[in-house]
Structure 1
Amino acid sequence: MRNALKAILSLTVLTSALPLMSFAEKGKSIYGEDDRVDFFSASAGMQKLSDSVVSFWDAKKIVFDPASNTYTLKTDNFGDKLGLCPGEKFREQTIGAFCSGALVGEDLIMTAGHCVTEETKCADTKLVFGYAVKEEGGQAPAKIAREEVYSCKKIIKRFQGAESSAAASSGLGPDYALIQLDRKVTGHKALAVNRNSTLKKGNAVFVIGHPVGLPLKIATGAKVRDTAPDGYFVTDLDTFGGNSGSPVFSAKTRLVEGILVRGDEDFIQSPAGCTTLAVYPQIGGRGEDVTKVAELTAFIPKLDVEKEAEKAAEALVNANTIKTVSIGDIAALRGFDAGNISFQ
């Protein structure tokens, strides 16, 4: 648990006390222990999944240098920008991204609908692979190879609205977007989404993204709290503004179950006058909302491995070997990594 000082902090939300940030959506936080880790300290399997997650940047914050064929990222010091208290986790790292997303097709990114609200925002957005701390004691790169930076070409599908049983003014409900990039992605693999989810309360989940615009973080140790709402489910994931659009995975199958879209307050003010993270008991707070991937799977083309899985399943069923089979089952039988799939 966090130290005693944080246990007695007021839950007053910082408004004017915090510097203005460019996050598309604020309001996410820590539940119980802070389970976020950097890329370098994650397992090989988690790193492989992370390689398919992108950070979203305002175009003006990325400057191309033709001499080196790289982009320079304009960033700020996390602690200085938000006036963080000494000792806060990741305090000395850089921030700059405003949302996160996942590669789900050869040129297709899945994210939150509030991250890219219209075509003009799309045109003003750059998507970056590899903004991560890849060695202990290191920093995220200040320069990114040209091949790792993509532009948003157009919005394929977008929705941001209330669930059918709630008033439109509630702001709750599905929140998603699929965007097409300016070219096909090379050097990265598409993530497989769960087209037949049976997610239940208590199931373990994890998230990969860019909290507060930080270098990529993986947050495990979370569970599903509620799957009843229309179009989304509730979790206790450790997330922040900037995590919006992050893929949320089943810890069991490592298939994408949804998109992180909103949650509780991010920061509070300490008695010392500095800013600290908002921390809630593991079962406390309002929870973090995740758009169900079922809301948009119809718009995500099937990957080659999914098509192969369907053929294999049909063959097994026809042979009366089994009655039903999932992509996860076929992946295990054929030696695929269901959560991270190459294009053929």
Structure 2
Amino acid sequence: MNKSILQSIMPVLVLIQLASASAFAKPLPVIYGNDDRKDLADLGDSPLRTLADSTVALFKDRDVSSGFLGGGMKLRGGSFQKQKNVCSFEPFADQPAGAFCSGTLIAKNLVLTAGHCITTEAQCRSTQLVFGFDVAEKDVYPLRMNRSQVYRCSRIIARHEDDHTRRDFAVIELDRDVMDHAPVKIAAPADANPAVGSNVVMIGHPYGLPTKVDAGGAVRSAEDPNYFVATTDSYSGSSGSGVFDPQTHEIVGILVSGEEEDFIFDSLNHCFVSKRCSVDACGGEKVSRVSFVPAMIRKFARY
């Protein structure tokens, strides 16, 4: 074909290919509106850094190894891009992704997470919890951790998982008290009912990535006594993430479920991209209320 003719029709061919790709794509979103997830390095001196400091990443035994000089622990996990084949332009594509769930410190010895994250005592004993799995400095990724920041799940103190009511939580005891991270406060029942339209903050480890802070979520519905629905930017691995009142900094819930699929395939680039939705569409993410937890853990918690 004549080169000049080929150059003239190339834009048309590209447009046809784009139209074809969008016609067959069925985006089921997990990003609502703008992607509001931020690394700690992007927060400046925000008080949300303190809440993030109480966030913990749950790793399987096989993904944490010891024996390094100075007592360090190595976290296993390839880049987000390699593990999921996400496109190189996806946020955080080059960051390590190894955690399987998220949690929050609620007492010196207790962590709150989702019930479906820790289901048995055997799984508890084979789970390690890592503080400081975050990007506190630009492009400095947490591949090795100080042993003092790695804890083991000792036992399950309380647990419930009900797909119908969405009451889904677990309180697990650590193998030792945490002395260098402050527990968060759980909102009292009277203060744990965020109004529809109010802002909430979610902090956790989407797809096992280093800590991400999403301060752009809002409550969409709140009539159910066991959970509310919010527009948090969530993925697999976000389960168990703490959801906070941005004014009081108290935890009002934990993320337990959302859209079934996190990504759609970009046929032009042969890789996956995050599903997206406008803030007023799609199903939202379900957040289990946790104001009842303090009464259940009173005799176990150390403050």
> Residue 191 in 1 paired to residue 192 in 2?
no
Residue 100 of structure 1 is matched in structure 2 by 102
Q: Tell me, what secondary structure is at the counterpart of 1:113?
A: coil
Residue 310 of structure 1 is matched in structure 2 by none
Indicate if the aligned counterparts of 1:104 and 1:300 stay in contact, CA closer than 8 A.
no
Residue 277 of structure 2 is matched in structure 1 by 280
Indicate if the aligned counterparts of 1:111 and 1:178 stay in contact, CA closer than 8 A.
yes
The range that moved more, 117-126 or 198-207, is: 198-207
> Residue 221 in 1 paired to residue 219 in 2?
no
The range that moved more, 106-115 or 36-45, is: 36-45
> Residue 292 in 1 paired to residue 293 in 2?
no
**Pairing 1:1-344 to 2, within 5 Å after superposition:** 10-11=25-26, 29-44=30-45, 45-65=47-67, 67-136=69-138, 138-163=139-164, 172-195=165-188, 196=190, 197-264=192-259, 265-272=261-268, 273-301=270-298, 343=303
Indicate if the aligned counterparts of 1:12 and 1:269 stay in contact, CA closer than 8 A.
no
Question: C-alpha distance in 2, partners of 1:263/1:146?
Answer: 34
Q: What amino acid sits opposite 1:267 in the alignment?
A: F
Question: C-alpha distance in 2, partners of 1:211/1:253?
Answer: 24
Indicate if the aligned counterparts of 2:205 and 2:212 stay in contact, CA closer than 8 A.
yes
Offset, 1:199: 1.8
Q: Tell me, what secondary structure is at the counterpart of 1:299?
A: helix
CA RMSD in angstroms comes to 2.3
Structure 1 moving runs of 4+ over 3 Å: 4-9
Relative distance call for 1:67 and 1:135 in structure 2 (3 A) is closer
Question: C-alpha distance in 2, partners of 1:9/1:251?
Answer: 39
Offset, 1:48: 1.0
Question: C-alpha distance in 1, partners of 2:224/2:24?
Answer: 31
Q: What amino acid sits opposite 1:286 in the alignment?
A: G
Task: Kindly name which structure, 1 or 2, has the bigger radius of gyration based on alpha carbons.
Answer: 2
Normalised by the length of structure 1, the TM-score is 0.77
Indicate if the aligned counterparts of 1:105 and 1:301 stay in contact, CA closer than 8 A.
no
Relative distance call for 1:130 and 1:9 in structure 2 (3 A) is farther
Indicate if the aligned counterparts of 1:174 and 1:230 stay in contact, CA closer than 8 A.
no
Q: What amino acid sits opposite 1:88 in the alignment?
A: E
Relative distance call for 1:107 and 1:7 in structure 2 (3 A) is farther
Question: C-alpha distance in 1, partners of 2:54/2:160?
Answer: 23
Normalised by the length of structure 2, the TM-score is 0.87
Unaligned runs of 5+ in 1: 14-27, 164-171, 305-341
Aligned length, in residue pairs: 280
Percent identical: 35
